[in-house]
Amino acid sequence: MSDPVTRCQLPNGLTVLLKEIHTAPIVSQWIWYRTGSRDETPGKTGVSHWCEHMLFKGTPQFPAGELDRLISRDGGYWNAFTFMDWTTYFETMPSSTIDLALRLEADRMVNSLFKADEVASERTVIISERQGEENEPLFRLSEEVHAAAFRVHSYHHEIVGDLADLQNMQRDDLYQHYRSYYQPNNAVLTLAGDFESEQMLERVQDLYAGLTEGSDVPRLRRPEPPQTGERRLTVEGPGETTFVQVTYRAPAGGDPDFFAYTVLDSLLTGPSNLNMFGGGISNKTSRLYQALVEHELAVSVYGGLSATIDPYLYTINLTVHPSATPEQCLVALESEIARLQDTPPPADELARAVKQARALFAYGSESISNQGFWLGFAEMFASYDWFLEYVDRLAVVTPEDVQHMAQTRLRPQVRTLGVYLPTS
């Protein structure tokens, strides 16, 4: 993880980070755009995710039917993801064929077609995706909780978008979003793997230097007002299982408090994985697992902490045991939080929580694809230095830091609580 990184910015504003890793003849390329559901207004929710789909529909140089065949033929794999703060596309290829991926991303930054018939067919796909998610109780519960937790900030809505907007947006809405945000000065290109940095940088300059810097990128500036009281809601729907989702206000990824909050998360529910490629580790030593699952109040408990540009949420999800009630689960949860607010965690328990968070971070940073991911991901909300300093910043968190986080950030007044009640 400590291999040197070459960083530069082209005259058109494109940020480039290169990391040589010569352990295998593989290169992973990522292109990150600073746009996601955070940039969407009512009437256009889901446009970032829909645009991501459209970039797989081809350009004049790379027709849609050719893309998968070309990547597969050269022994690579590719994908894309839309988040609240960003959209990213990646290809992991043999180093001898990485030039295909380089040409592909430079081309579709400016030449994606957005054909009307492709927009129409993808509308059906995305609406089906949305409807499939609505079949999941936790999606329905989470959507309502987010809508209650964020009344002003655009973290209010789901990344997939609202159904009404998916039914009404047109091709020009998508293309305008594409032209507004898919610009060199709004992008970060990262490559990790088996290459020589000087040669790779020359090739990147050949492909991107001719692209024109875009105009000012539109940004929404709607900070969420402070929450002054607990918000509770109930969702009813099909199923046989009761779920509880509890959210508290969490610091932004670049906030110094994020590291103490990470340890708090690890101690309470087991560490959250910031890397979508990594797996998880057991949370059976966490306080809420022992208080809820081992006492048969909940079937499962897990937390979620995300590194975001703006302050977001820390989420605790409970699957209520058939013989228990949501109220019993909440009493046990509040008891554990109160215990942490009253008394700092013992040194050995804190050390275990830090060790687990560090282990999960390490597991999610091993492969070349993961290294390419971290180069860009950290840039979306902070800088790559955040990644390099992560382990050291966790190591200096004290029991009193964790107690302070519990006292100030796990108060009922900043909590939004939702219960899913099955009707079957």
Residue 213 belongs to some domain of the structure: no
Q: Average of pLDDT values for 135-149?
A: 98
Q: Average of pLDDT values for 21-36?
A: 98
- On whether both 143 and 290 belong to a single domain, the answer is no
Residue 223 belongs to some domain of the structure: no
Give residue 2's pLDDT: 57
- On whether both 193 and 247 belong to a single domain, the answer is no
Supply the range of the domain harboring residue 269.
231-422
Cα–Cα distance for residue pair 309/395, rounded to 1 Å: 23
Residues 6+ apart with CB under 8 A from 44: 165, 169, 173, 177
- The number of domains in the chain is 2
**Is the confidence at residue 277, as pLDDT, over 80?**
no
Measured from the Cβ of residue 338, the count of other Cβ atoms closer than 10 Å reads 12
Give residue 331's pLDDT: 98
Q: Per-residue confidence at 373, pLDDT binned at 50, 70, 90?
A: very high
Q: Average of pLDDT values for 39-52?
A: 98
CATH number at residue 383: 3.30.830.10
pTM: 0.96
- On whether both 187 and 246 belong to a single domain, the answer is no
- On whether both 299 and 408 belong to a single domain, the answer is yes
Residue 122 belongs to some domain of the structure: yes
Which pLDDT tens digit goes with each residue over 246-260?
A: 999 999 999 999 999
Q: To the nearest whole percent, how much of the chain has pLDDT over 70?
A: 98
Give residue 147's pLDDT: 98
Q: Average of pLDDT values for 171-177?
A: 98
**How would you classify the pairing of strands 231-237 and 415-422?**
parallel
Give residue 424's pLDDT: 78
User: Across all residues in the chain, what is the average pLDDT?
Assistant: 96
- On whether both 53 and 148 belong to a single domain, the answer is yes
Higher pLDDT, 143 or 424: 143
In one-letter notation, the amino acid at residue 34 is R
- On whether both 60 and 130 belong to a single domain, the answer is yes
Q: Per-residue confidence at 153, pLDDT binned at 50, 70, 90?
A: very high
Which of 159, 176, 208 represents a domain boundary (last residue)? 208
**Is the confidence at residue 92, as pLDDT, over 70?**
yes
Q: Average of pLDDT values for 265-271?
A: 97
- Longest Cα–Cα distance of the chain, Å, equals 65
Q: Average of pLDDT values for 412-422?
A: 97
- On whether both 165 and 90 belong to a single domain, the answer is yes
- On whether both 256 and 154 belong to a single domain, the answer is no
Residue 49 belongs to some domain of the structure: yes
Give residue 278's pLDDT: 64
Q: Average of pLDDT values for 68-96?
A: 95
- On whether both 123 and 175 belong to a single domain, the answer is yes
Cα–Cα distance for residue pair 265/260, rounded to 1 Å: 9
**Is the confidence at residue 1, as pLDDT, over 80?**
no
Q: Per-residue confidence at 279, pLDDT binned at 50, 70, 90?
A: low
- On whether both 201 and 323 belong to a single domain, the answer is no
- On whether both 303 and 164 belong to a single domain, the answer is no
Q: Average of pLDDT values for 290-308?
A: 97
Cα–Cα distance for residue pair 357/348, rounded to 1 Å: 14
- On whether both 134 and 238 belong to a single domain, the answer is no
Q: Per-residue confidence at 347, pLDDT binned at 50, 70, 90?
A: very high
Give residue 281's pLDDT: 82
68's tokens: 């998968």
CB 246, CB 265: distance < 8 Å: no
For CA atoms 381, 43, 126, 314, give the dihedral sign: positive
> DSSP character for 216?
P
